[in-house]
Chain A
Amino acid sequence: MPVEALFAISPRPGLADPVMQSQTVFRTVMAALAEPGTIHALPETLTGTIDAPAPITPAAAAILLALADYETPIFLDEAARNADVGAFLSFHCGSRITDSAGEASFALIADPTSLDRLDAFAPGTLDYPDRSTTLIVQVAELGDVSGEGSVRLRLTGPGIADTARIGFGPVNAGLVAALADNRARFPQGVDLIVTDGAGILGLPRSTRIEEEGF
């Protein structure tokens, strides 16, 4: 297929400078997973140039564009499952879109109010706990939260000096329990990257999570 033809079917622009911007996105995600409970922001100049189809936010799109490729099948939750999103991700990442959460390397959760369990995703095996799904969870608010359906969490574990407090949402009422179950399976389990469109919060499987009241 000629290059022009590829551009003709390209739905929307991805990263303007894939080499440098992928590095920036990766370092932000790396810092977020290394320091759970701390919000790490993507530069506005980067997210501002990404024009992803709804409902993917620029930040979630940036993460997938930086990390996914033909080796990593992507699962889309019901809210994200539309032709434009599929075309955008398969065009820019070369990833296969899968209907099976259990074989996905990445899962995009556009509507976390429907995310009540995590055990459908790949937890890896005891021999190879790395063969697991990483969830990218889009939330409306992250940090100080007040909204209906949001949660406030107390985090401990690797990457946290003492304890960290963080809130996000709205999410499904069952998610905190599902996160606790996920921690209980360690070293198996899934890792979460939570984003409100600008900030990124890492919730690796190693983090112990308790819910705090408002």
Chain B
Amino acid sequence: MSANAAAEAARPYNYAYLDEQTKRMIRRAILKAIAIPGYQVPFASREMPMPYGWGTGGVQVTASIIGPSDVLKVIDQGSDDTTNAVSIRKFFEKTAGVAVTTATTAASIIQTRHRIPETPLGAGQVLVYQVPIPEPLRFLEPRETETRKMHALAEYGLMHVKLYEDIAKHGRIAKTYDYPVMVGGRYLMDPSPTPKFDNPKMHRSPALQLFGAGREKRIYAVPPHTDVVSLDFDDHPFEVNKFDKPCALCGATDVYLDEVILDDRGGRMFVCSDTDNCETRRADGHRGELLGNEEPRA
């Protein structure tokens, strides 16, 4: 279906649903966000036809940047098949007449909730994150008026104290996702609730990373090739979650895994969270334990 035909079919709504004034307002916010990496730009988030907390920020960002020549991939928990990913992908197929894909490498825009694809992103790609709580300091200081001052003065002692308390109490930083990062050496940023496993992928990525928080009305960005450093201490360096087993389907070892309960007697297996990566590996001949443990011939 051509873009015009699709837009036609979706009437009475505008291309990509949002009206042009709203798009301009969001586009301006995106440009400011890119110019001030890690700073949360307030924007007049609109009421979307899906609930707040279900990706309205990401959807508004995607709707404002997307055009007929884009190829869109939508993932939730790393997977293209989860219901909310399906629903958002369908929304853009319908309102923007855009081509969709599940292949990370084929996408020009990837909207995500909770994961960064395992396949390294390339120049020209845009990763759009759905963000529930954009403020990394929110759970330490609930007041916007206070956290805004902290960002203005780059006064992030509160976060360091909290992480250090974790170490004193638990022997480690007890934060496994939403793990705070410093962007460009200036702004403390919440990477959205991706597992900290994914944090290193943000650092100097050649892709543009955009973050949309609809309910909280904030947009922020990490331009390509920008330093994104997970907070840590010299004696407690940042480390990512590790898994004891490889993916049962494709045998991958350096990826994030989902635990799947097989029965009520403790039977469980681990499989790739990134379904595209897993399928690509299997198509290339990799086989995990469940499929007979094979590696492709060189």
Contact = CB atoms under 8 A, between A and B. Distances in A.
Direct contact of A and B (CB under 8 A): yes
Interface of A: 18-20, 22-24, 26-27, 29-31, 33-35, 66-69, 71-72, 105, 125-130, 132, 134, 157-161, 186-187, 191, 204-206
Nearest to A29: B31
Interface of B: 3, 14-15, 20-21, 23-25, 27-37, 39, 41-42, 64-68, 124, 148-149, 152-153, 184, 186-187, 204, 206, 208, 221-226
Contacts, number: 111
Given A19-B14, A186-B186, A159 B32 contact: no
Nearest to B25: A71
Contacts of A35: 223-224
Contacts of A31: 124, 208
A68 B25 CA distance: 9
B224 A130 contact: no
Contact of B36 (A18, A68, A187): A187
Contacts of B153: 126
A130 to B, nearest CB: 4
A33 B24 contact: no
Contacts of A159: 34, 223-226
B20 A127 contact: no
Nearest to B43: A130
12 contacts: A20-B67, A22-B24, A30-B30, A30-B34, A31-B124, A34-B221, A35-B224, A130-B36, A130-B41, A159-B34, A161-B206, A206-B35
Contact of B31 (A24, A33, A68, A129): A33
Contact of B208 (A24, A34, A160, A161): A34
A18 B39 CA distance: 30
B65 A130 contact: no
Contacts of B32: 130, 132, 191
A66 B30 CA distance: 14
A127 B152 contact: yes
A102 to B, nearest CB: 17
Given A26-B64, A34-B208, A205-B36, 10 more contacts: A22-B20, A22-B23, A27-B67, A30-B34, A30-B65, A69-B21, A130-B29, A130-B41, A159-B226, A206-B37
